[in-house]
């Protein structure tokens, strides 16, 4: 080739590399995420490999001879965050906190700097805000602690020597996009820079036994490398979600080498920073409309904790040949499948309606255990009949309209009982297991088992139907 190739196109979402620009990344199928980057040549070949994570010692030992034991941990000072982390921060681990800009990552980590039971100094390295800005935020949050030290260094090599000299117990790096390594020629925030910086921080965390929390912005715009390319390198990935216009925030463990992934914690953004929400169900169901069509309540399991969620649906006659299907917090494909089941089984004429389906509170729902609740909310809006009052709906819906069993039903029912639900529609497949394990049924909702969507709708809409026939 005539042209000398010293640039490469790298996907800012998944890290896929290509010699030419492509509109769609073959690695992750995202559009417009490939950005041009210079090939890094400044690193001398004698240096340690930078992308393979940290280099441990050379000794090879038998697995039998390795001493097992709990990793030393310390509390973040926020019990909900500790739960998501699997029991607090592990000493010498690298935690990545990702989220949209403005969601509250810096606020959360400044609060953690203050509250964490780290035995020693907490170093806050900020490339985003000046020292006085951080001080102002700390004053607003009522934080004035002498154990927090600040640095606005953005060079990785300089930050590394600060860490080696001070050996803090906890270090916050805000954010990975502002840090750069002098070894690499591309701009801060580029894929090769964020990868290099993260690999360097991982080596430091392991070798100096410092817990490092790394902030990473996620942007839809592919110009800035998102933390997605870093997920495989770090020990723990926490994702901070929610609508920045609302007060509700969710912190989810996407990956955790030291605990269960999928754990979820709720926070509320107030004038005094973030406060933990222990009882998420009551907040999510607080202003629930009663006795109106188009709403159903289900119990989702996020990690180990059940939460009650309201699903709302609105169906309106469509003016388009291809009706609209809009979902918030739900997988569009899954909702499409449930609408197809509804059409096939009830000949409901649903293709003449636009459908809007929503999980209240900005929560993202991925569990199939909530299928029947989605179907119920849609059916309720379509027929304009409210769902039987005080009833929780659980079950996965199959393509033939059968209701399939869901996992951990006992915990979901206990949460329903706490919130005064008097009855629950459950998959027939769960009956044997549930009746065997739960002798004590006092205070539990009445359990109604169903095997098909027909049985479910007959029970859920029966009383109102009678009322509606004049
Ligand atoms: P921030 O932590 O700066 O977000 P990130 O670091 O993820 O970009 O949070 C910014 C938002 O939080 C901002 O819109 C103001 C709001 N906020 C409060 O509502 N209360 C507070 O006490 C603080 C410090 C911030
Ligand atoms: Mg910030």
CB of 159 within 8 A of CB of 179? yes
Choose one of 104, 110, 130, 238 to mutate for the ligand 1 pocket test, by most ligand atoms within 8 angstroms of C-beta. Answer: 104
CATH of the domain at 97: 3.40.50.300
Could you tell me the pLDDT band of residue 46, with boundaries at 50, 70 and 90? very low
> Is the model's pLDDT at 31 over the cut of 80?
yes
397 domain-assigned: yes
Calculate mean pLDDT across residues 356-384: 92
256 domain-assigned: yes
Calculate mean pLDDT across residues 412-439: 87
Query: Both 159 and 209 in a single domain?
Result: yes
Report the distance separating Cα 75 and Cα 89, nearest Å.
6
Report the distance separating Cα 391 and Cα 425, nearest Å.
7
Q: What would the DSSP string read from start to end of 58-118?
A: S----GGGSPP-PPPEE--S-HHHHHHHTSSEETT-EEEEEE-TTSSHHHHHHHHHHH---
List the domain range (segments joined by +) for residue 369: 283-469
Could you tell me the pLDDT band of residue 1, with boundaries at 50, 70 and 90? very low
Q: What is the mean pLDDT of the chain?
A: 86
Report the distance separating Cα 250 and Cα 81, nearest Å.
10
Query: Both 162 and 295 in a single domain?
Result: no
Could you tell me the pLDDT band of residue 51, with boundaries at 50, 70 and 90? very low
> Is the model's pLDDT at 440 over the cut of 60?
no
Calculate mean pLDDT across residues 346-366: 89
54 domain-assigned: no
Query: Both 234 and 292 in a single domain?
Result: no
- The reported pLDDT for the residue numbered 466 is 43
CB of 453 within 8 A of CB of 375? yes
What separation in Å is there between the alpha carbon of 160 and the centre of ligand 1? Answer: 28
66 domain-assigned: no
Choose one of 97, 99, 100, 102 to mutate for the ligand 1 pocket test, by most ligand atoms within 8 angstroms of C-beta. Answer: 102
> Is the model's pLDDT at 468 over the cut of 80?
no
Lowest mean pLDDT among 11-20, 54-63, 159-168: 54-63
Q: Look up residue 254 and give its DSSP letter.
A: E
Closest ligand 1 atom to Cα of 108 = 2
pLDDT tens-digit profile of 129-179?
999 999 999 999 988 778 899 999 999 999 999 999 999 999 999 989 899
Residue 187's closest CA among 154, 160, 218? 154
Report the distance separating Cα 416 and Cα 298, nearest Å.
9
CATH of the domain at 429: 3.30.230.10
Q: Look up residue 155 and give its DSSP letter.
A: B
For ligand 1, which residues put their CB under 6 angstroms from it? 99, 101-107, 137, 140-141, 269, 271-273
From 232, 254, 278, the end of a domain falls on 278
Closest ligand 1 atom to Cα of 101 = 8
From 248, 278, 308, the end of a domain falls on 278
CB of 122 within 8 A of CB of 147? yes
Query: Both 329 and 263 in a single domain?
Result: no
Report the distance separating Cα 318 and Cα 151, nearest Å.
57
From 278, 312, 336, the end of a domain falls on 278
Calculate mean pLDDT across residues 85-109: 92
Q: What would the DSSP string read from start to end of 296-360?
A: EEEEEEETTEEEEEEEEEEEEE-SSSS--EEEESS-HHHHHHHHHHHHHHH---GGGEEEEEEET
Hey, which of 6-15, 115-124, 388-397 has the most confident mean pLDDT? 388-397
Could you tell me the pLDDT band of residue 45, with boundaries at 50, 70 and 90? very low
Query: Both 246 and 367 in a single domain?
Result: no
Closest ligand 1 atom to Cα of 272 = 22
Query: Both 125 and 214 in a single domain?
Result: yes
Closest ligand 1 atom to Cα of 99 = 7
């Amino acid at each position: 080739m005539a042209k000398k190739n010293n640039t490469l196109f790298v996907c800012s979402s998944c890290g896929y590399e290509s010699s030419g620009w492509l509109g769609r990344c073959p690695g992750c199928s995202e559009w417009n995420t490939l950005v041009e980057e210079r090939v890094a040549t400044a690193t001398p070949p004698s240096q340690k490999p930078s992308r393979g994570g940290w280099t441990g010692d050379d000794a090879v030992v038998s697995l039998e001879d390795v001493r097992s034991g709990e990793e030393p941990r310390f509390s973040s000072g926020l019990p909900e965050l500790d739960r998501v982390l699997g029991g607090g921060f592990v000493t010498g681990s690298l935690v990545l906190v990702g989220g949209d800009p403005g969601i509250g990552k810096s606020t959360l980590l400044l609060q953690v700097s203050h509250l964490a039971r780290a035995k020693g100094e907490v170093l806050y390295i900020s490339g985003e805000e000046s020292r006085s800005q951080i001080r102002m935020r700390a004053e607003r949050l009522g934080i004035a602690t002498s154990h927090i030290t600040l640095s606005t260094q953005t060079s990785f090599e300089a930050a590394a020597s600060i860490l080696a000299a001070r050996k803090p117990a906890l270090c916050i790096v805000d954010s990975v996009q502002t840090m750069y390594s002098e070894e690499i020629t591309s701009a801060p925030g580029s894929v090769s820079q964020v990868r290099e910086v993260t690999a360097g921080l991982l080596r430091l965390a392991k070798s100096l036994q410092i817990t490092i929390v790394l902030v990473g912005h996620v942007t839809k715009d592919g110009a800035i490398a998102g933390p997605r390319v870093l997920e495989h390198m770090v020990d723990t990935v926490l994702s901070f979600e929610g609508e920045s216009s609302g007060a509700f925030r969710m912190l989810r463990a996407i990956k955790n080498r030291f605990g269960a992934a999928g754990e979820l914690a709720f926070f509320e953004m107030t004038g005094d920073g973030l406060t933990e929400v222990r009882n998420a169900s009551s907040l999510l169901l607080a202003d629930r409309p009663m006795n109106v069509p188009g709403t159903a309540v289900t119990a989702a399991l996020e990690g180990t904790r059940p939460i009650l969620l309201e699903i709302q649906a609105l169906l309106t006659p469509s003016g388009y040949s291809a009706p609209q299907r809009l979902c918030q917090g739900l997988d569009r494909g899954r909702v499409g499948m449930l609408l197809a089941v509804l059409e096939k089984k009830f000949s409901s004429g649903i293709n003449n309606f636009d459908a809007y389906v929503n999980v209240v509170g900005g929560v993202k729902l991925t569990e199939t255990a909530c299928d029947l609740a989605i179907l119920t909310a849609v059916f309720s809006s379509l027929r304009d009949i409210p769902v039987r009052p005080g009833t929780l709906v659980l079950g996965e819906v199959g393509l033939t309209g059968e209701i399939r069993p869901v996992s951990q039903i006992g915990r979901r029912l206990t949460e329903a009982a706490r919130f005064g639900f008097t009855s629950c529609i459950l998959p027939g497949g769960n009956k044997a297991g549930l009746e065997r394990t739960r002798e004590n049924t006092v205070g539990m909702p009445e359990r109604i088992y169903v095997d098909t969507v027909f049985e479910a709708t007959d029970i859920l809409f029966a009383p109102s139907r009678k009322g509606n026939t004049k």
